[in-house]
Structure 1
Amino acid sequence: MTDTTQVVERSQSAMAQRQQDKAAPTVTLLPAVDIVEDSSGVTLWADLPGVTRDKLQVSVHDGNLHIEAEAVVPTPSGLRVQHAEIHRPHFARAFSLSPDLDSTQIGAQLQDGVLKLTIPRREEARPRRIAINVA
């Protein structure tokens, strides 16, 4: 193979790669999740690296909790991406909520790529002590 042929092959390969990059589908990833339950409710932590608040959506519909996010992976100035297996990481996860949880009072915090959701129990579903009267 001559040097000229190698240049042509590389050039065609680079063009094919650019076209493939443009047509590359968005890959949906399942974020890792930890869930802790206690008498007051449920706390959920979801790992969403590279996600900013404006690219995060948390919603509840028909008793299902939905988390969707798109990560922003900046390229440092002066550098260019040679290869990226996932160009625009997209996260999605859904959970069914128990009827004893109050989906109208969900609290959400995002810090350092970790989403924390606090889902309280409905007041009537919380454990309570019943006083016993002596007759």
Structure 2
Amino acid sequence: METTRSHHRGRVVIAGAAVVLVVAGSLWWTKTIAFTSTSVVQFSIDPFEAPDDSRSQTFIAAANFPHELPSTGERLAQNLGGNASDYESDLAITASDAPGLAVTARGRTPSAARTLATDAAAALRSILEELNTMDILAITFTVIPPTT
């Protein structure tokens, strides 16, 4: 009888230790591992007629836009909830290889990083579209989501 009880107690101790290791490992994983993903807000403009009736094309770059863009984090907080600071620390906006801006997001899983990058690029696109209404050029902003 005593050996059965001690054998059962040994299994409980092993199961408890396994649970503690899984919980501790999960907490460590979520704090130390981060995935990144990048979406692009691509700029394009249609050719337009110049005053001399010729067709012209304007090339635009990220430098054509004000450096003091409204916070993408604030727009995400409005759309998704939370505070702007919840998003801003996980986002980086830089110039992309193609005419446009690259939005790089950091997340705990690859899916979370992709989703945040796409949502942030969409928010940035809406900000740029609002700024573009003040300009005479018809610039089109297209979000190119990250590939898997």
When the two structures are superposed, what TM-score results if normalisation uses the length of structure 2? Answer: 0.34
Greater RCO structure (CA 8 Å; 6+ sep): 2
When the two structures are superposed, what TM-score results if normalisation uses the length of structure 1? Answer: 0.37
More helix per residue: 2
More strand per residue: 1
